[in-house]
Amino acid sequence: MIFGKDGFLRAVDAFETAVRAHDADGAEGAYAGLHKTYEQARDDEFLAAGPRLAELLAEVPPGPRAVVAVITGACVERGADPVACAPGVLGGVRGALQAAEAFCERWAATGGGDLPQPEADELTDEIVDRTGFEAAMGWWSLPQWEMAALAMLNSKAVRQQVPGKAELLALAERVQDASGHPFKCLVYALRVLDDEPLVVLHRETRTGYAMRMTGIGDNFQLHTLLAGALIGGLHLPGDAPSAQEVAVCRDAPGQVDTAGSFNLVGADGGWIWNEGTPSDIPVVDGARLLVLDPPPYRRGWAAGRFFPDMTGDLVLERVLGAEETERWFRHVAEAKD
């Protein structure tokens, strides 16, 4: 099959026609054409192709479906509208997770043992006989679906309108727990908070700050942004991170070595680990409440973003007055060793 000028869009045309006509041979040839023409495609082709491929995903056979989702994600990364592409991709993610959950259950019910690894092991007839084809394909395709989902969830507009987001996150967490496979990026992306109120209390100076966070992938990123806003803004004592350390936690490329300034603590005194996410911070009276204590030991890491293509931000909205700060401190347990 020769695609010529506008080759990627011609391949999309051929693939769409074949899939809708249930023409397996035509779809196979056009599927190969997608791969062949993708590298030479122009940005305007990606812009047009992304929503069309996303809309088609539910009709694509299970075998190539996840790879077509990855191509859709690549279209978004090259300029296609993530909001238009997200319903098809995230619907596919949900279906793959449901199938993968069934796979884990059937695997356990038929003798258990170590689960096969999608990126390392071959999908054999024995595995399919043991778990069923749809369940096996769901499990095997999860790495591709995760990749496609991240391309969508890098967009704040998409994150703010994911249908059934809490249920989707719970499903992803169940699959992760049942399998022991670290689908960490998908879980963390679904945990990202946007325009989320955050009340920060500094125990030593007895001061408080009303803040708002968006697009922060993990607490390493949050920690650096906190130090930048509060120490760099001269509200708290200490060594502030450099402008570059703060920038890479917002939208600048790369990573820069940094050091921890605080110990992040919940209102109950439990540590909020840097390796976790801002969603780990408990909600108290309608806002996530975070206490800053002195670091118990020196910590260092590479400042940057867990999701390099996701813009993050932490805004200091106002410094709390003494009376309001003390009201928040009434919710806070004593510091723990």
177-186 per-position pLDDT tens digit: 888 766 789 9
Q: Which of 28-32, 50-54, 240-244, 312-316 has the lowest mean pLDDT?
A: 28-32
Better-predicted residue by pLDDT, 244 or 1: 244
Measured CA to CA, the distance from residue 202 to residue 219 in angstroms comes to 17
Of the candidates 134, 245, 266, 133, which has an alpha carbon nearest to the alpha carbon of residue 198?
266
What is the pLDDT confidence band of residue 337, given thresholds at 50, 70 and 90?
A: low
What is the pLDDT confidence band of residue 114, given thresholds at 50, 70 and 90?
A: confident
Q: Where are the beta strands (DSSP E) in the chain?
A: 196-202, 207-214, 256-259, 263-266, 283-284, 287-293, 300-303, 313-319
Please tell me the predicted confidence (pLDDT) of residue 63. 86
Measured CA to CA, the distance from residue 143 to residue 96 in angstroms comes to 10
Measured CA to CA, the distance from residue 228 to residue 245 in angstroms comes to 8
Please tell me the predicted confidence (pLDDT) of residue 179. 80
Of the candidates 151, 213, 229, 199, which has an alpha carbon nearest to the alpha carbon of residue 331?
199
Please tell me the predicted confidence (pLDDT) of residue 332. 96
Better-predicted residue by pLDDT, 5 or 133: 133
What is the pLDDT confidence band of residue 2, given thresholds at 50, 70 and 90?
A: very low
Please tell me the predicted confidence (pLDDT) of residue 214. 98
Dump pLDDT digits (tens) for 3-24. Answer: 556 789 999 999 999 999 999 9
User: Dmax over Cα atoms in the chain, in whole Å?
Assistant: 74
Compute the mean pLDDT over every residue in the chain, rounded to the nearest whole number: 94
Q: Is the pLDDT of residue 217 over 80?
A: yes
Of the candidates 219, 220, 95, which has an alpha carbon nearest to the alpha carbon of residue 148?
95
Q: Is the pLDDT of residue 1 over 70?
A: no
Dump pLDDT digits (tens) for 263-279. Answer: 999 999 999 999 999 99
Residue showing tokens 């820069």: 256
